[in-house]
Structure formats: C-alpha cells, structure tokens
Amino acid sequence: MNTMPPCLLWDVDGTLTDTTALIAAALEHVYVGFYHRTLPYEERCALIGTPLKKQIRVFGEPHAFGTTEEAVMDAFIAYYEEHKAEEKIFEDVLEVLKDGKRRGIPTGLVTSKNREELDNTMPRLGIADFVDFTVTADDIPHPKPAPDGILLSLRHFDIPTDQVAAAFYIGDTLHDMRAAHDAGVQGVGVTWGAAGRSRMAIEAPPHICQTAAELRALLLGS
C-alpha cells in the first residue's frame, strides 16, 4: 500500500478483545434471571454487535416480565464486570491500531457498547492515547447494523467524499460488515471474533483477515 487510508475505524468486542463467551454468559445470566428462559449459545453470539438495549429485548419488553430496561442492563454490566478477568485482549491487534495512529492515521472506535460499557473497558485496553474519536450506541439514533456510527466518524474526521471508499472499518460480525457496506467504506472482517470465517464469508466483505499480521499488511502495508 503506497498511501495510508484516510482513517481507520475499529469495532471493540471480538475485534480488539476476546469477549464472545463472556458476553454470551452475561446474556444467559440476565435472560434466566429476569425472563426465566435463554437462547442457545450460537443465537446469543449472533446478537453480539448489536446494542445491549436490543439484546435484552429478544423475548419482548422488560416491563412485560415485571422489570425495567435499567434493571436488566445494570445486571448485565454488573455480571460482565464481576467476570472481567475473562475479557482477554488481543494485544497483537491493538499494536496494529497503535501503529496506525503512530503513522498519523485518524483512528476511531465505533462500538455497539453503550457509553458506560466502553468507559469500563477503555482503561483495560490502554489505547486512550491512540484513539481520536469514539462512537457508542448511546451517541447515535440507529446503532449497527445501521451505518450511523461510521458516518458520524467520517464527518468528525472531515473525510472528503472522494476518499470515503478508501477508509476501513474493522469488525468481527455481520452487523459490522453491513454497517461498513452501507457507509461506503471498506469492511474488514476478522475471523477471531463472534462470527468466524464461515459466517463472515456469507456477508462477503471486501476483506477477510485471519491473523493480526494479515490485518497489518492490509491496513498499513507492512
């Protein structure tokens, strides 16, 4: 790659961190605790990449079960934080993000986490000095798979229209790739997260990377 991309936008869960099993367990915790039912593991994994507000409504509105959105979300976050030791960080992927920023590429996070969830996670990632802009599910009217978060980031970085197609969004779910496609940027599906290579191939994103080294070569050329 002779020129650097105009910006690099990153998903968090499943892309920078290995959290698939932890999120699935936290969902089962609140599903059983509040709704007295659950979903198979694969179906819980398929929800990853959508906002928590949506994930807790797979059985209907919380008030139909005698509870509130706030109670269920608080319980999910409490479970996640109690088991945060299970949140594993992909250090080699973080190094790609950091190196992109060191080369002067505007760097952002576009996540379906809400602001509280991201604020909890950021200190553990240690990338605050390498991220210029963050978008959570709380910051936009339509989170992923809608393109709103990516589009907001492009506007924040003042990316010219003729350079949008050279920007990248890196994520691990079909929701990420659909958002990238609809925003007009290049989707990069990584296979170490919730979807895996076989499901990622269904969406046929422009790029699929199986290792951090492949990702580095694609984004940074080395």
Determine the straight-line distance between the first and last CA of the chain, rounded to whole angstroms. 9
| Bridge partners (DSSP) listed for residue 208 | 189
3-state secondary structure of 174: helix
Pinpoint the alpha helices (H) of 48-147: 52-55, 69-82, 91-102, 115-125
Query: Which candidate, 137, 208, 216, 213, places its Cα nearest to that of 177?
Result: 208
* H or E stretch covering 25: helix 20-30
Q: Are 222 and 216 in contact (CB under 8 A)?
A: yes
pTM, to two decimals? 0.91
For residue range 183-199, list pLDDT tens digits in order.
999 999 999 987 777 78
Q: Are 159 and 128 in contact (CB under 8 A)?
A: no
For residue range 51-104, list pLDDT tens digits in order.
999 999 999 999 999 999 999 999 999 999 999 999 999 999 999 999 999 999
Lookup: tokens for 200:
């990622």
Confidence of residue 48 (pLDDT cuts 50, 70, 90): confident
